[in-house]
Amino acid sequence: MTKRTNQEWLDELRAPGREDTLADLRSLVVRGLRYALAGRASVTEQDLDDFAQDALLKILAGLDSFRGKSRFTTWANRIAINVAFTELRRRKWKDISLQDLVAQHDDRSGFTPVVLTDSAPTPEQQAIQQMMLEKVQQIINDELTERQRTAMMAVMGGMPLKEVARRMGSNSNALYKLLHDARLRLKKRMMAQGLSPQKVLTAFET
């Protein structure tokens, strides 16, 4: 493959008769994806082709957004990886509903485990930990909207942000901001009640 500068890549991809350059770009993207997705048994050769094709379209559509802060080939590989991983996450989570995932972490049992840390806490430590957890629980219920609680639990339950956003009729950036706001509100309220997050975490380490 011909070695090109960033500007050469851009100029050639924008020019008519760019087939050779496109072929080189495709080859580069496929090679990169092969390494990026190595070890994933569910990924087929057809998948690699499809991901590469989608990535090429995105790269070509986004040429004007390339700012030259990195090598063009790095930028192209980054886009291809994002395309592939986004699709693989969608496939993995497509049959899992938000409600089911959230319900898994909603503790209706009323059961409080005796040991909340790796080391066996004393009865006094257990009482403090239990009190702290109940306070945090109350703050979460008071401060966060239903939407924020659901989103937080889903993301912490392992669902990719984009998948949560899709199910909530949003996009990943808006959802990130929703969750960021939620964390800020929780932090502010916890600090106001003399319950700094670090203090809570420390109580569970001892």
Partner 1 sequence: MMKLEPAMLKQMVRAVASTRLDEIDCNECLEELDRFVEIELAGKNAAEAMPLVHDHLTRCRDCREEFEALLTVLRILG
Site residues (CB under 8 A) for partner 1?
Answer: 31-32, 35-37, 69-71, 74-75, 77-78, 81-82, 85, 89, 105-108, 112-113, 116, 133, 136-137, 140-141, 149, 152-153, 156-157, 160-162, 172-173, 176-177, 180, 183-184, 186-187, 190, 197-198, 200-201, 204
Nearer to partner 1, 25 or 190 (CB): 190
- 42 phi/psi in degrees, rounded to 5: -80, -10
Q: CB nearer to partner 1: give 16 or 69.
A: 69
Least CB distance from residue 8 to partner 1, whole Å? 18
Nearest approach, Cβ of residue 57 and partner 1 (Å): 17
Name the phi and psi angles at 112, rounded to 5.
-110, 120
Q: Whose Cβ is closer to partner 1: residue 52's or residue 160's?
A: 160
Please state, in angstroms and rounded to a whole number, the distance separating the CA atoms of residues 84 and 90: 10
How many CB atoms are closer than 10 A to CB 116? 15
Our CB check for partner 1 shows the closer of 20 and 142 to be 142
Report in angstroms how near the CB of residue 161 gets to partner 1 at its nearest.
6
Q: How many CA atoms lie within 13 A of 5 on its CB side?
A: 3
Residue 84 to residue 91: CA distance in whole angstroms: 11
Q: Given the complex with partner 1, which of 50 and 176 has the nearer CB atom?
A: 176
> Which amino acid is residue 126, in one-letter code?
Q
Least distance between partner 1 and beta carbon 111 (Å): 9
Structure tokens at 127: 């009482």
Least distance in angstroms from the C-beta of 12 to partner 1: 20
Closest to partner 1 by CB, 13 or 16: 13
Contacts for 160 with CB less than 8 Å, ≥ 6 apart = 89, 93
User: Any idea what the Cα angle at residue 37 is, between residues 36 and 40, rounded to 5°?
Assistant: 155
CB of 27 to partner 1, least distance (A): 11
d(CA 81, CA 66): 16
Number of residues in the chain = 206
Q: Which amino acid is at 102?
A: V
